[in-house]
Amino acid sequence: MEFRVLAEAYEKLEATRGRLEMMAILSELFKEAKSDEIDKIIYLSQGVIAPPFEGIEVGLGEKFVEEAISLATGYQVKKVEEVYRRTGDLGKTAEELLLSKKQMSLFSHPLSVQKVFDNFMKMAKTSGAGSQDAKIKRLAELLNNATPKEASYIARFPVGKLRLGIGDPTILDALSAYKAGDKSLREELERAYNLCSDLGLVARTLFSDGIEGIRKFRIKVFNPIRPALAERLPSAEEIIEKIGKCAVERKYDGLRMQIHKQNEKVEIFSRRLERMTHMFPEIVAGVRKQVRAKDAILEGEALAYNETSGEYYPFQLTMQRKRKYGVKEKAEEYPLKLFAFDILYADGEDFTKRPYHERRKTLERLIAYGDVLKLSEMMVADDPKELEAFFEESIEKGMEGIVAKDLNAEYVAGARKFAWIKLKRSYKGELADTVDLVIIGYFLGKGMRAKFKFGGLLCAVYDEKEDVFRSVAKIGSGFSEEQMKQFEEMLGRIKVDHKLARVDSEIKPDFWVDLTYVVTVAADEITRSPTHTAGKGKGESGYALRFPRMVDLRGDKSPEEATTVAEIIEMYKMQKRTQLEET
């Protein structure tokens, strides 16, 4: 496929606001693809050259892209910077300068998808002395052979600002529409994706082996499984009423990890499925020593530990261990303990289809006694009073709360089900739980904050059914001066000149941003709102947070892992029930 065809589809996607239209554009694009290039088309459309767990990135910042544009167009870097300041978009900058290109190439050739992908992959794998210059030349080569429209997407790609507005659910729907003409295959495609976390692999399998190949998908060590998520209920009574006799585990406030082991090789993946093995050498050593299986995939929560006092550090300190540099020093300062809570695969057996009580017994058998890996503390309860007592004890020990698990439920990869139910501490006079929101825009500082180019956030919750993010809160408090400076810098790098297709908001911030960051937010309560779009329907107002306050930046969560519209509605109902009980 010529890259021109892909660029034309991208242009249509960028101008489209409806998910059904996006699905139609993608499914038509897929019809023109061959089986040996569909995975490349999927990856490029996701803004990556490989699934995140492979850790392969192009590794070019804005300044280097500017140099490549300069090389390809003949304009001085100063001129490129000048146009970029005006457009705010490296893609538009490349397109504009190519339209008035100073030097014409005598040997330009039409670009193919394969050529563009191969060049990006070579850039990613280039390292050592002179690697940046080599990367710049490869990017300039692509731009030199590109049409202005192709160049706009090629220039955006290395800096992660493709701006197509499509998410993985829309791509899955489009694959189903390509094969079946409708969304009927979506569930089976999503199951395969949940097991391998590689959308390119799913597409390539569908193209080469059809739906039968998708149905044969199996768990593979070192391909992370998309994590199961918990629902929430407000009381021990409602948990027992919902799932009956259940396992109750302490909810640790740490880093969720998925551990893969094959013989002596160990890999660690974050809840966002990013490879982070090198950051946690003590966990790797502990897994090699304590896991009694040749091959295994298990999940756990890692917490920083104070060896002297025997206490666990708060989440903010644990997060300091997630770093590229200074790993050894931080490992000595904040050593981790991993509390294993589930087993997904062991020695050829898929345990995700087994009930929880079997998985727990297997986990207990496979984890040997040691200093690093521990089993999560767990009890079985069928009485709300027992569950409540375990919950209160967990809070006293500094935990977030508890997670109740249906003893007979399978592991539901990539989904939020009542197989797991969380109960977290509540705060007097506040919403019973914090929520995780996606930043969709920000406001400039006013009054005392005028010296900052940041004054507050516009945040959204995730609508799983429509794959869009709907506004739920304007957040203007909870920020220190240091955090305001941090947000000014962070958000300034990802601001865009228009509302993204996956964003639904009637409130207009000073700047829209790419869907990148998730923040934890506390609030007094959830109220009905005529201005916010979360849960808004025909003739019905939406939902909003009253007096929202930022608590923390969640670097371990992707936008799709944020609190959902359905959760906000359910929390609103819980809140109403609690208020009625109190009166």
Determine the Cα–Cα distance for residues 113 and 98; give it in Å rounded to an integer. 20
**Residue 69 burial (CB count, 10 A):** 30
- Regarding whether 455 and 563 lie in a shared domain, the answer is yes
- Regarding whether 307 and 265 lie in a shared domain, the answer is yes
- Regarding whether 78 and 115 lie in a shared domain, the answer is yes
**Residue 211 burial (CB count, 10 A):** 17
Asked if the structure places residue 164 within a domain, the reply is: no
The residue with tokens 């192009």 is 58
Check which CATH number belongs to the domain holding 265 and give it.
Answer: 3.30.470.30
Asked if the structure places residue 207 within a domain, the reply is: no
Determine the Cα–Cα distance for residues 197 and 53; give it in Å rounded to an integer. 8
- Regarding whether 399 and 270 lie in a shared domain, the answer is yes
Is 191 strand, coil or helix?
Answer: helix
**Chosen domain end from 138, 159, 180:** 159
CA dihedral over 72, 73, 76, 77, signed as positive or negative? negative
**Nearest alpha carbon to residue 402 among 376, 422, 425:** 422
Distances from the Cα of 341 to the Cα of 96, 150, 315, 479, angstroms:
54, 48, 18, 34
Q: Which residues form the domain of 70?
A: 48-159
* Residues tagged in the binding site annotation for ATP: 249, 256, 271, 301, 341, 416, 422
Asked if the structure places residue 188 within a domain, the reply is: no
- Regarding whether 250 and 122 lie in a shared domain, the answer is no
Catalytic residues: 251
- Regarding whether 486 and 387 lie in a shared domain, the answer is no
Output the 3-class SS for 192-246.
HHHHHCCHHHHHHHHHHHHHHHHHCCCCCCCCCCCCCEEEECCCHHHHHHHHCCE
Determine the Cα–Cα distance for residues 220 and 345; give it in Å rounded to an integer. 9
Determine the Cα–Cα distance for residues 39 and 207; give it in Å rounded to an integer. 10
**Residue 134 burial (CB count, 10 A):** 15
pLDDT at 581: 59
pLDDT at 187: 94
pLDDT at 19: 83
Check which CATH number belongs to the domain holding 99 and give it.
Answer: 1.10.3260.10
* Residues tagged in the binding site annotation: 249, 256, 271, 301, 341, 416, 422
Per-residue tokens: 507: 């409130």
Asked if the structure places residue 440 within a domain, the reply is: yes
- Regarding whether 335 and 273 lie in a shared domain, the answer is yes
**Chosen domain end from 100, 134, 159:** 159
**Nearest alpha carbon to residue 139 among 185, 73, 192, 72:** 72
Asked if the structure places residue 32 within a domain, the reply is: no
Q: Which residues of the chain have pLDDT under 70?
A: 102-108, 307, 310, 426-432, 447-452, 577-583
pLDDT in tens, 116-169: 999 999 999 998 898 999 999 999 999 999 999 999 999 999 998 888 888 899
**Chosen domain end from 424, 448, 477:** 424
Asked if the structure places residue 176 within a domain, the reply is: no
Asked if the structure places residue 537 within a domain, the reply is: yes
Per-residue tokens: 60: 């070019």
pLDDT at 429: 41
What domain count does the chain have?
A: 3
Asked if the structure places residue 4 within a domain, the reply is: no
Determine the Cα–Cα distance for residues 418 and 416; give it in Å rounded to an integer. 7
- Regarding whether 439 and 419 lie in a shared domain, the answer is no
Q: How are beta strands 525-529 and 518-522 bridged, if at all? A: unpaired
- Regarding whether 272 and 414 lie in a shared domain, the answer is yes
Distances from the Cα of 101 to the Cα of 72, 146, 155, 407, angstroms:
8, 12, 15, 66
pTM, entire model: 0.85
Helix boundaries (H) for 452-552: 481-494
- Regarding whether 453 and 383 lie in a shared domain, the answer is no
The answer to whether the beta carbons of residues 496 and 431 sit under 8 Å apart is no
- Regarding whether 556 and 464 lie in a shared domain, the answer is yes
| Largest distance between two CA atoms of the chain | 81
Please report the beta strands in 452-535, taking only residues with DSSP state E, as ranges in sequence order: 456-463, 468-475, 495-496, 503-504, 511-513, 518-522, 525-529
Check which CATH number belongs to the domain holding 563 and give it.
Answer: 2.40.50.140
| Long-range contact set of residues 26-29: C-beta below 8 Å, sequence gap at least 24 | 26/166, 26/170, 26/171, 26/174, 26/177, 26/178, 27/174, 27/175, 27/177, 27/178, 29/5
The residue with tokens 């228009």 is 498
Determine the Cα–Cα distance for residues 43 and 49; give it in Å rounded to an integer. 5
Q: DSSP letters of 94-144?
A: HHHHHHT-SS--TT--PPBHHHHHHHHHHHHH--STTHHHHHHHHHHHHHH
Residue 130 burial (C-beta neighbours within 10 Å; 0-12, 13-18, 19+) = exposed
b/e per residue 295-305 (b: at least 16 CB within 10 A): bbbbbbbbbbb
